[in-house]
């Protein structure tokens, strides 16, 4: 499978780098209600209405040579690099007779991985397990390695998006795509999507969801802080609307990559 991609990219005109991404910044700018780039401060950028104000994001695929698939996903200043190895050989102790064994390794930017990373690895792994068609590759292992390059808020969502793009790049069969969206609720109940690190710190609650591309069902959720049931439903609805932008970005990104022009 991999060789197919290589020959294809060599056929492209010399001006373009092979396997390059789509930096969809311009399109995202049009979708936002205000065009200000300085979302890091978060205070003076005017009304970020719910449902349409995600930060500028970009994705680059096939940038690493060793893994079978790789992707770098950037959301504002948060950036995560993902590599996928698989389907590959699996240790006998870990093999499952009828499915592929999925493993996720998350490395923080500084320091050694700790208990919090283990918890996030489990969340990402279970999300991937729900969409990857492991039954097509029994007794193999699919390993997703995520490296945090920079953290400026919404880290888990960025990790999920990078993992999804890397799995697509590796050609792992999946029944749906998934995306991560983060919502922050501040003390007076205003919803902010894709919060920056400062907004997350000042928020009363931060909710991260992973949504399915087929029917926007909730695949994974993890939350921090106190909130009410009604606020949860509101955040979920806003996340579902925002996920449409992300899925459209995935589609355009892949279309550009494989278009013959």
Partner 1 sequence: MAAGFKTVEPLEYYRRFLKENCRPDGRELGEFRTTTVNIGSISTADGSALVKLGNTTVICGVKAEFAVPPTDAPDKGYVVPNVDLPPLCSSRFRSGPPGEEAQVASQFIADVIENSQIIQKEDLCISSGKLAWVLYCDLICLDYDGNILDACTFALLAALKNVQLPEVRINEETALAEVNLKKKSYLNIRTHPVATSFAVFDDTLLIVDPTGEEEHLATGTLTVVMDEEGRLSCLHKPGGSGLTGAKLQDCMSRAVTRHKEVKKLMDEVIKSMTPK
b/e per residue 53-92 (b: at least 16 CB within 10 A): bbbbbbbbbbbbeebbbbbbbbbbbbbbbbbbbbbeebee
If the CB atoms of residues 33 and 228 are measured against partner 1, the closer one turns out to be 228
If the CB atoms of residues 80 and 156 are measured against partner 1, the closer one turns out to be 156
Q: How far is the CB of 236 from partner 1 (least distance, A)?
A: 6
Give dist(CA 240, CA 182) in Å, integer: 11
Both tokens of 50, joined, read 């719910």
If the CB atoms of residues 147 and 221 are measured against partner 1, the closer one turns out to be 221
CA distances from 56 to 92, 203, 246, 255 (A): 44, 21, 11, 19
Strands 191-193 and 178-185: antiparallel
If the CB atoms of residues 194 and 212 are measured against partner 1, the closer one turns out to be 212
Q: How far is the CB of 125 from partner 1 (least distance, A)?
A: 7
Which residues lie closer than 8 Å to 81 by C-beta, 6 or more apart?
64, 70, 71, 72, 146, 147, 149, 162
Both tokens of 2, joined, read 């991999």
Q: How far is the CB of 221 from partner 1 (least distance, A)?
A: 4
* Residues found near partner 1 in the complex (CB under 8 A): 115-116, 118-119, 121-130, 207, 210, 212, 215, 217-229, 232-233, 236-237
| Degrees to nearest 5, angle at CA 229 with 223 and 231 | 75
If the CB atoms of residues 148 and 206 are measured against partner 1, the closer one turns out to be 206
Which residues lie closer than 8 Å to 234 by C-beta, 6 or more apart?
50, 191
Q: How far is the CB of 143 from partner 1 (least distance, A)?
A: 15
If the CB atoms of residues 116 and 135 are measured against partner 1, the closer one turns out to be 116
- Paired residues of 74 in beta bridges: 58, 79
Q: How far is the CB of 242 from partner 1 (least distance, A)?
A: 15
Q: How far is the CB of 112 from partner 1 (least distance, A)?
A: 13
């Amino acid at each position: 499978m991999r060789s197919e991609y290589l020959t294809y990219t060599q056929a492209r005109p010399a001006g373009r780098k092979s396997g390059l991404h789509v930096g969809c910044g311009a399109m995202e700018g049009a979708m936002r209600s205000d065009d200000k780039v300085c979302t890091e401060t978060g205070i003076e950028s005017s009304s970020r209405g719910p449902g349409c104000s995600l930060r500028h994001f970009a994705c680059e695929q096939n940038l690493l040579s060793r893994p079978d698939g790789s992707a770098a996903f950037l959301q504002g200043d948060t950036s995560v690099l993902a590599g996928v190895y698989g389907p590959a050989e699996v240790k006998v102790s870990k093999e499952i007779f009828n499915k592929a064994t999925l493993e996720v390794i998350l490395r923080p930017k500084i320091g050694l991985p700790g208990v919090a990373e283990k918890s996030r690895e489990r969340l990402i792994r279970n999300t991937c397990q729900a969409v990857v068609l492991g039954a097509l590759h029994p007794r193999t292992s699919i390993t997703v390695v995520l490296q945090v390059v920079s953290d400026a808020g919404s880290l888990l969502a960025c990790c999920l998006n990078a993992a999804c793009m890397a799995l697509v790049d590796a050609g792992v069969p999946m029944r749906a795509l998934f995306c991560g969206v983060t919502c922050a609720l501040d003390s007076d109940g205003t919803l902010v999507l894709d919060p920056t690190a400062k907004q997350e710190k000042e928020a009363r609650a931060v909710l991260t969801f992973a949504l399915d591309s087929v029917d926007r069902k909730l695949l994974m959720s993890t939350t921090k802080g106190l909130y009410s049931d009604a606020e949860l439903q509101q955040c979920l609805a806003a996340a579902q609307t925002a996920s449409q932008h992300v899925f459209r970005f995935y589609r355009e990104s892949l279309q550009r990559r494989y278009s013959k022009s």
